[in-house]
Structure 1
Amino acid sequence: MTKALFSGCGPVAAAALLLTVSHILPVSAESPENLPKDAPASAAAATPEAALSKAQAELDTAWRALEPLGFSAGLFVEAGSVVGYGAYVPRAKASFAPTDTLVVYAQPVGYGYRETETGYGIRLTADYTLLTPSGQVLAEEKGFARLTSDSREKRRELYITLRLGFDGLRPGAYTLLARINDAVSGKSGELSLPFTVTAE
């Protein structure tokens, strides 16, 4: 018997920090509204706002070009330790008792955005496959969970937690393949996570 839970989150403290910093930046003498009307266009392009806009456009281009779906992080973590994007406790060893729940933390990158009434929608699903060292499939399920997220901005810092419990696994080595599928872009990405089950 297999139990699985799929969850995720979008905006994070880092985004809030960026907004806070942008609000307290002093108005520069080089800001567009302070430039002479006859100032060259290159002067306006040199403002921090313009530089940030250019960097965001370059990020968007690189993001769309990612193929297949990628991950900036993907690992086993301690149960109950995930409290936000990048806020988790890695599991020291990928070793579990037969009754333990496997908790996977992942940060997908390169997914697409669907236009929605509120702005941008993310539509992901998860599959898993449990393998022996020889490649024998012991368990698998496609589309066992879905993540739907809508926001007014394009969320880049998205995290996912997968919780899986496998009953009756004998002590030994195994591999968990966790596959994330993006319904918007059609991309998929896979994490391969070896682990062992110990005797009780």
Structure 2
Amino acid sequence: MGVAGAAAQSDTVQPSDAFRDALAAYDQAWNASGLAFTKVTFTDGGATGYGQYTPRTNTVFTDEEALTVYAEPVGYGFREGDGSFAYELTASFRLLNLSGQVLAEQDNFATFAGEGRTKKRELSAALTFQFSGLPAGDYQLETRFQDEIGGSQSTVTLPFSVMGTN
């Protein structure tokens, strides 16, 4: 490292002890949580990033309309190696009617994975579903997320309706 690099590091203002303590407490709470979600909602269109989505005002869809879901997972595990932290979540889904009959399902249809020099804790999972031919009625979209590194899983269920055509 050159002199300029060393000087830049020594001029860096370090966080306070209180801030470092808060980060350590956050890390401990994260690890104790297991896979959970701070937000899961249907959206109008896709999300463009963490916290960048428009919540849908209702859960009534037309037969031809795509269902878009936004989720913010927390408590997933990290694999450490060579100064980096990796995460990997997979998603599976089931479409159910109100009597619990499974109308469609697919395991591991989406993967959310990454790696960086720090633990990425602002992860958004955006999913799009297209179910054509559903008759008018009430349904449940059940999405199971599996933490491939930490080993935990969590399922979220979003009820929705399909309106009939006139």
Out of 161, 167, 176, the position equivalent to 2:141 is: 176
CA distance in 1, matches of 2:119, 2:73: 14
1:57 equivalent in structure 2? 24
CA distance in 1, matches of 2:163, 2:83: 48
- Aligned CA RMSD, in angstroms, stands at 1.5
Q: Residues 43-62 of structure 1, C-alpha deviation per residue, up to 9 Å, x if partnerless?
A: xxxxx521111111111111
Give how far 1:79 is off: 1.0
Using the TM superposition, give the Cα deviation of residue 118 of structure 1 relative to its aligned residue in structure 2, in angstroms. 5.5
Residue 54 of structure 2: SS of its match in structure 1? Answer: coil
**What letter is aligned with 1:73?**
K
Contact 1:78/1:89, CA 8 A, preserved across alignment? yes
Matching of residue 126 in structure 1 with residue 91 in structure 2: yes
Higher Cα Rg, which structure: 1
Q: 1:74 aligns with which of 35, 40, 46?
A: 40
Q: Which residue of 1 aligns with 2:3?
A: none
Distance 1:71 1:56, change over 3 A: same
- Counting only pairs closer than 5 Å after superposition, residues 16-165 of structure 1 correspond to structure 2 as 49-67=16-34, 69-80=35-46, 82-117=47-82, 119-165=84-130
Give the aligned residue type for 2:36.
G
Q: Distance in 2 between matches of 1:147 and 1:88?
A: 18
Name the amino acid aligned to 1:51.
A
Residue ranges of structure 1 left out of the alignment (5+ in a row): 1-26, 32-47
TM value normalised by structure 1: 0.73
CA distance in 2, matches of 1:86, 1:137: 31
Structure 1 runs (4+) deviating above 3 angstroms are: none
Aligned mates of 1:73, 1:140 — CA distance in 2: 23
Q: Secondary structure at the match of 1:93?
A: coil
Distance 1:161 1:70 in 2: 16
- Partner residue of 1:166 out of 122, 131, 142: 131
Figure out how many residues of one structure are paired with residues of the other and give that number: 153
| CA–CA separation in structure 2 for the residues paired with 1:116 and 1:99 | 45
User: For 1:134, what is the secondary structure of its paired residue?
Assistant: coil
> 1:117: how far off?
3.9
Map of 2:154 onto structure 1: 189
Give, in whole Å, the separation in 2 of the partners of 1:124 and 1:85: 16
Uncovered stretches (5+) of structure 2, i.e. residues with no partner: 1-12
After superposition, give the CA deviation of every residue in 1:139-179 in whole Å (9 maximum; x if it has no partner): 11111111221111011111010001012111100000011
